[in-house]
Each structure stands twice: as C-alpha cells, then as structure tokens.
Chains A and B, each alone.
Chain A
Amino acid sequence: MLNERIIDLIQADVDGELDDHDRAELSGELLQSQEARKFRDDMIRINELMASIPSLDPPVGLQSKISSAIKLPKRVQFSIRSSRWLKFASHGPATYGLSLAAGLLMGIGLTQVSPREAQDLSAVVGTMMSQPESQRGSAGEKLSVSLDYVQGSIKRSYRDQAIALEFDLKSEEPVEVTIDLSGTGMRFGGFADQDSASAVEKFEVSNGKVHLLNSGNQQYVVFLRDEPKGTTHLRDIGISLSQHGASIYQGLLESKE
C-alpha cells in the first residue's frame, strides 16, 4: 500500500511539479517499490490519454458574437462646465501640432458632455512631493513623480504667450490629474496629446480646474493663457494626482515668469 507521500511525489512528477530534492527521494522509492512503479506508469498512461485528446474548435462566429455583445466605455469623455474656458490657444500651442479644438474635437472626438463636481484641493489629503527645479526660460519648473503606481514628471515651459504644462507620466491604473488654476490669473488655453497610442479617457474643465483621466504612457501638454483682465499671477499652479478617488500626489508649479 503506497503512502500519501509517495503518491504525492509520483503525482507531482507526472504533473511536472517535482523539484530536484523530491525527485531524488522519488527515484529511491521507485527503485525499491514495484507498486510505486506500477502506480507511476498508470499515472503516466492517464496523462498520455488525456493529452491525446485534441482541443475543440469553438463554433464559427462565436468570437464576433461575443465581441458585438460587449459594450466598452467610450474612448473619451469630455465635458466643460464653464463656457469661458472654451477659448483655445492659437499661436504657441500650435507648435505642438494640435490645439484643443484640433486635438480633441478632431483627433479624439467629442463624445459626452456631462456635469461633474469639481474637486476641492483644500480637502485633499495626501503626500506632498513638490520638487521644484529652478529652470527659467523655456524649461520652466518641474515636478518629479516617483510613486509605486505612477512615475514621471510635469514640466512647465513657455511658448510665446502661453504657459505649457508638459505631462510625461506612466501608470498602469488610471490617474486623474487636476490642475488648479483658481487665483493664478490664468485660464485653460489648449490641449495637445503627444502620444497617439493613448487616448485621454476623461477631460473636464470646471470652476478654474482642469481634470484629465488617463493611464499607460501619458504624454500630453496643457496650455495656459493669461486671463484677459490682468497678468499678475497671484498663486502658483496646483497639481494633484489621484487614483480611484484617493489623492496620491500634490505639488505646485510656479506660474510667474
């Protein structure tokens, strides 16, 4: 009568799950026990018989039937609550090849307009990791993001009369970026997606804040322009990142030249 240990070893052997140490033990048992050898031969035979059964072809058309029955989310959800943000950048942002009008309305498509509550940054609790680098001129200021689930940078530069916030982030899970412009004397001026392989899943401008939701490689530029009534920047630009509703990062970019 084989004991449980020998049975386990033999099963693991025929299933390809035996390590070297156990294999040595099994070899010794097989040399001594005819019953063990017979059991092993039987297990091998059963495995061979099972393996000889060909897999079946699924019915023709099943794949397309499944595909057509599944509804995926819209590629982009775009909403703007305040019409004052609809004046897009023209000169500076054009150097990136896209303005918001071209980039979103033509390249991605306007698919949904829905109201949405704006976030209150004052209520956000999280780790502040602002790492400003004093890079005047075209480079601007930079935030480096190095978290478990999000890595990359957000760089501020100047393009003609516009401030360009260059996002270069990587994350497996969707990241919501909020750009807080309230009190900065600036307004949203345009958007350019620099990575054609990724599509912004959600884009919203409301109450002085720009919200973007994206995942994977996220390379895009958000352009900011001065408010018509003045150019005095009162506050720096608040950048916050969140995942699944939880704040994971908060930082500031200088808004003044």
Chain B
Amino acid sequence: MDKSRDHELILRCRRGDRQALGELIKEYERPIYNAAFRILGNRDDAADVTQTVFMKVFERIDQYNPEYKFFSWIYRIAINESINQRNRSKNEESYEDEHHSLESNPEDHIDADRLSDVIQAGLMQLQEDYRVVVVLRHFSEMSYHDISGILSIPEKTVKSRLYSARQLMKAQLAALGEM
C-alpha cells in the first residue's frame, strides 16, 4: 500500500484512465474481500461488499483528500459496508451453511482447513467491534495507529478491544485444544 502510488493511480482515474482503475482494483480487491469475509463469514456477501466498496469509492473519488492515506479511506468504507451488510442480512445462519460443524473432540487432529473454520467461528462469536479490530490487526495487518484512524477511535481503545477479543478467542481455541 504505497501512498504515493495510490495517489498517482487516483489522479489518473480522475482523468478517466481505465488502466489506472484496473491497477487500483487489482491492488485492493483481495484485501478488501478478505477483510469483508472475516467480518461477514460469507463469501457471497463479501464479494457484494467488495463491489459496493469500489463503487462508493469512485462515486466519491473527487472528495478524496490526498493528505490522507487512500487505504485508510477504502478500509473505512469497507468496514462500514460490511457492518451494514451484516445488519441487513443477519446472516449468522449463512455462515453455518458454509462451514463444518465445530462440535468435535478437541483431541481430533485439526488440519489447516478446520483451523481456518475454527478461527472464523471464533471471530463470528465476537461482538462486532471486537471482531473488526481483530480483522484489521490480524488479517489486514494494520498498525494500532491505522486502526485508530480507520475506526475513528483512540489507540487506547484499539488496544483494549484487541485484548478483550484475544481473551475470548483464547478461550474458544482452548476449548478446541489449540491453546
């Protein structure tokens, strides 16, 4: 996420350069899709949110202030859209449709796919504001400062939410024999 490169691509997009648009989508499609999926727990919803995020970004591209990081701006839109989507669909059930049951013997071997499901199930058990900071920190690899900026909350709040979320994740992972 190179700030100056993002800025250059945006300027080119503003001038109607579709190649720059393609480069910008290519750069952010995957991270936005993954962040949305980790918040929503549903691939179809994550794809819809990803598309909506880019649509909103380019509807407002003239409002983008280059003094701020583009990735902070697009992530903020992505988080808001994911939460809106979650509220709209109330899709806790749809997550369970996609994944295996987690009721199993903790002594069973947990392979990578199952671990992924376990982590995702754990995330979905977290309250939304905890889940968002975990996603931004662990899956989007944001710093405390970036998370603070994206969510418009103090860094101290970022840390305390991370602590609470991790304690809950720890308890869930321990129940499955992973801690």
Listed in ascending order, the chain A residues whose CB lies under 8 Å from chain B are 7-8, 11-12, 15, 17, 42-43, 45-47, 49-59, 62-63, 65-67, 69-76, 172-174, 198-199, 201, 215-216
Q: In the assembled complex, which residues on chain A have CB atoms less than 8 Å from the CB atom of B18?
A: 67, 72
Listed in ascending order, the chain B residues whose CB lies under 8 Å from chain A are 7-8, 11, 13-18, 21-22, 25-26, 29-31, 33-34, 37, 43, 47, 50-51, 54-55, 58, 66, 112, 115-116, 119, 134, 137-139, 143-144, 159, 162-163, 166, 169-170, 173, 178-179
Q: Given the complex of chains A and B, what is the CA–CA distance between A172 and B64 in angstroms? A: 12
Contact A17 B14 (CB under 8 A): no
Q: Given the complex of chains A and B, what is the CA–CA distance between A50 and B123 in angstroms? A: 11
Contact B37 A75 (CB under 8 A): no
Q: In the assembled complex, which residues on chain A have CB atoms less than 8 Å from the CB atom of B58?
A: 70-72
Query: Contacts A59-B47, A73-B16, A172-B11 given: A49-B137 contact, CB under 8 Å?
Result: no
Chain A nearest CB, measured from B158 CB (Å): 10
Q: In the assembled complex, which residues on chain A have CB atoms less than 8 Å from the CB atom of B17?
A: 72, 75
Q: In the assembled complex, which residues on chain B have CB atoms less than 8 Å from the CB atom of A73?
A: 14-16
Quick one: which of A42, A43, A53, A215 contacts B116, CB cutoff 8 A? Answer: A53
Contact B25 A75 (CB under 8 A): no
Contact B33 A62 (CB under 8 A): yes
Q: Given the complex of chains A and B, what is the CA–CA distance between A231 and B114 in angstroms? A: 84
Contact B112 A216 (CB under 8 A): no
Chain A nearest CB, measured from B1 CB (Å): 15
Quick one: which of A7, A55, A65 contacts B163, CB cutoff 8 A? Answer: A7
Contact B54 A66 (CB under 8 A): yes
